[in-house]
């Protein structure tokens, strides 16, 4: 079966993103290298505009539409802000569908980027149906969080930059929710660096992709659970899964406690604020769930939208 | 009067530091630019080895000594760890004089870098006298935290890198304790960028340099107080003050509350862990204590050694 994107799509996305996204820094720590037993390079997407890698995919998509096309997205998290920012940058109208009980700070932040927010009741309404209806009624284009080739290609620019900045990577470790980030990253990594191992990491309570790979077909979890709220997809995407099957060597899982340990390490030792989803890939390295001994490893720190107050509270409980 | 260091000294320090210190990233934020009214470039020395800029000065000094020379320093903070790291890198023995009631984590961290820690009783012993005696008895060289030309030149590499990475800076904002960082930075900035405004920032409770400039001579505070524990020098140095008088246009002060606001902004919006001293320069920009409207500004974020747990507690109280 043909895969949804090619390496050329990632390069084309990188051109669209030029000047619109930050080239985020790559952080290193000798203490981390000592703990991991390899040379670890952390691609810090927490410093991306909007606080996560999500702007790459959203901007790649919105910039590919005819100028002025309005967009709609449903998300209570980083994708919402990313679509709002991309639309504002490009002069497009954005409607974001968010649960009515979302934190006020998130609703305000999304409105602050100029988006119209439409709330729904989680218990009685389907956000997908609402999104589709808005798209049809208002002539808006739906920007999916991961299962879209233009979004996937945009996310792949994370690995493109990392491979440009760090020579001779042996392993690339990437968090997995719906699979948009890892499918884009694996596509360009396999093309740029023959033989590189691409490893996905999921929370143990949301390991739909690991299970799907084991089963050989997409498996849906009834109720994914983790503090890593950005990785709670119930199944891999229809477009992302074939790429993961072909190009990702293994998907491992980490516990919430291991994720919190990684957040603490990142804050105390590396001075970086990582949200739970953002710390998940590093958690696998620190916990030994991925064997990186003697290798040169790239690790994607995918986002930092947690808030210092919540970060302190999460870590104080332990 | 001749100044203690020249721009050539900073360039020579940069050569000594090659490969030993991180070239730290420069962070930007459109939200920050909007709040400041100018283009702000944050030089993130929290990502330096040892968690602060202090390694630059310590390494510059220790690398200038005959190989194998043992060193001694007195510090309960970032300078202690910096001297320990520099000595270990260079194969020298280090003795660090620390108060016996220093946090166990700091004592352990310093020992972890291979230094011998000698504790003293704050109430009955003088750390300066103890340091001098150890230096004499054991043939060790004292590494002062700021009032040493090799240390000052090393700290100046912070500004050297920032001026290399960001074109056309109009203003450079730097925290001021004993003045080692700002004297090194001002020396190279004045040479590299004619007309640049160099602004120092002190905590309001430790504004010895501001008072000294107003008086035209070094003033000593009897009891400097601030949460910015790295900036509690009671007076500017004998070598740093003449440079500050000549090259620093103004020194402003910020309250502890403004410092906490800046720490929160850095954590929540920029995803960076800053210790109170480290956030002091940005606090002045955010609070409007430095007028940066319409300018291109460099701001030194000097360190991040606060610990996530303490950071959460400091900000939760507000």
pLDDT for the residue A104 = 82
Residues B49, B83 contacting (CB under 8 angstroms): no
pLDDT for the residue A318 = 58
Which residue from A minimizes the CA distance to B31?
A49
pTM of the full predicted structure? Answer: 0.94
Q: Which residue has the tokens 């103890």?
A: B130
Q: Which of A263, A271, A311 sits opposite B272 (nearest CB)?
A: A271
pLDDT for the residue A1 = 65
Q: Which of A27, A49, A311 sits opposite B308 (nearest CB)?
A: A311
Residue A102: pLDDT band by 50, 70, 90 thresholds? confident
Buried b (16+ CB within 10 A) or exposed e, B184-202: bbbbbbbbbbeebbbbbbb
| CB spacing of B268 vs A307 below 8 angstroms | yes
Residues of A with CB under 8 A from a CB of B: 22, 25, 27-28, 30, 44, 46-47, 49, 51, 263-264, 267-268, 270-274, 304, 307-309, 311-313, 315-316
Q: Is it the case that residue B268 has pLDDT exceeding 90?
A: yes
| CB spacing of B47 vs A27 below 8 angstroms | yes
- pLDDT tens, position by position, A182-224: 999 999 999 999 999 999 999 999 999 999 999 999 999 999 9
Largest CA distance in chain A: 57
User: What residues in B contact A272, CB-CB < 8 Å?
Assistant: 271-273
Minimal Cα–Cα distance from B106 to chain A, Å? Answer: 13
Tell me the average pLDDT across B177-201.
Answer: 97
Tell me the average pLDDT across B302-318.
Answer: 87
Residue B95, both tokens = 């003795």
- pLDDT tens, position by position, A127-161: 889 999 999 999 999 999 999 999 999 999 999 99
Judged by DSSP in three states, A149 sits in helix
Residues A298, A43 contacting (CB under 8 angstroms): yes
The whole-chain average pLDDT of chain A stands at 95
pLDDT for the residue A109 = 84
| CB spacing of B27 vs A47 below 8 angstroms | yes
Using CA atoms, how far apart are residues B137 and A239, in angstroms rounded to an integer?
Answer: 72
ipTM of the complex: 0.91
- pLDDT tens, position by position, B9-24: 999 999 999 999 999 9
Residues A271, B230 contacting (CB under 8 angstroms): no
Which residue from B minimizes the CA distance to A302?
B271
Minimal Cα–Cα distance from B307 to chain A, Å? Answer: 5
pLDDT for the residue A317 = 65
Residue B214, both tokens = 């107003």
- pLDDT tens, position by position, B79-114: 999 999 999 999 999 999 998 888 787 888 899 999
A52: left (phi over 0), alpha (psi -120 to 50) or beta: beta
Using CA atoms, how far apart are residues B109 and B113, in angstroms rounded to an integer?
Answer: 6
Residue A287: pLDDT band by 50, 70, 90 thresholds? very high
Radius of gyration of chain A (CA): 18
Number of H helices, E strands in chain B: 14, 10
Judged by DSSP in three states, B215 sits in helix
Minimal Cα–Cα distance from B315 to chain A, Å? Answer: 7
Q: Is it the case that residue B128 has pLDDT exceeding 90?
A: no
Q: Name B72's Cβ contacts closer than 8 Å, sequence gap at least 6.
A: B94, B95, B96, B97, B131, B134, B135, B138, B140, B141, B142, B143
CA distances from B21 to A214, B115, B161 (A): 45, 19, 12
Whether the CA torsion B296, B302, B305, B310 is positive or negative: it is: negative
Q: Which long-range contacts (CB under 8 A, 24 or more apart) does B122-130 make?
A: B127/B74, B127/B97, B127/B99, B128/B74, B130/B74, B130/B97
Which of B286, B295, B30, B294 shows the shortest CA–CA distance to A114?
B30
């Amino acid at each position: 079966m043909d895969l949804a994107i090619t390496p050329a799509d990632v390069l084309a996305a990188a051109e669209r993103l030029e000047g619109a996204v930050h080239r985020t820094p790559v952080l290193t720590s000798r203490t981390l290298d000592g703990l991991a037993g390899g040379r670890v390079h952390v691609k810090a997407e927490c410093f991306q505009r909007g606080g996560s890698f999500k702007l790459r995919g959203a901007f790649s998509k919105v910039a590919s539409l005819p100028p002025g096309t309005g967009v709609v997205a449903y998300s209570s998290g980083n994708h919402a802000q990313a679509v709002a920012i991309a639309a504002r940058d490009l002069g497009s109208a954005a409607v974001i569908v968010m649960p009515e009980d979302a934190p006020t700070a998130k609703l305000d932040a999304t409105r602050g980027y100029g988006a119209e927010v439409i709330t729904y009741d989680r218990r009685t309404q389907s956000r997908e149906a609402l999104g589709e209806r808005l798209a049809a009624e208002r002539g808006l284009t739906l920007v999916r969080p991961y299962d879209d080739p233009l979004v996937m290609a945009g996310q792949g620019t994370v690995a493109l930059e990392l491979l440009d900045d760090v020579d001779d990577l042996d392993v690339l470790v990437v968090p997995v929710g719906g699979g948009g980030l890892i499918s884009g990253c694996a596509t360009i990594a396999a093309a740029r660096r023959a033989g590189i191992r691409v490893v996905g990491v999921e929370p143990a309570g949301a390991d739909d992709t690991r299970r799907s790979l084991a089963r050989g077909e997409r498996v849906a979890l009834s109720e994914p659970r983790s503090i890593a709220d950005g990785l709670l997809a119930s199944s891999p995407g229809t477009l992302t899964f074939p790429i993961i099957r072909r190009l990702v060597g293994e998907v491992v899982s980490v516990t919430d406690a291991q994720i919190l340990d990684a957040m603490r390490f990142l804050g105390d030792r590396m001075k970086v604020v990582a949200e739970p989803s953002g710390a998940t890939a590093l958690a696998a390295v620190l916990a030994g769930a991925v064997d990186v001994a003697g290798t040169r490893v790239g690790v994607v720190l995918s986002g930092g939208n947690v808030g210092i107050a919540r970060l302190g509270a999460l870590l104080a409980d332990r």
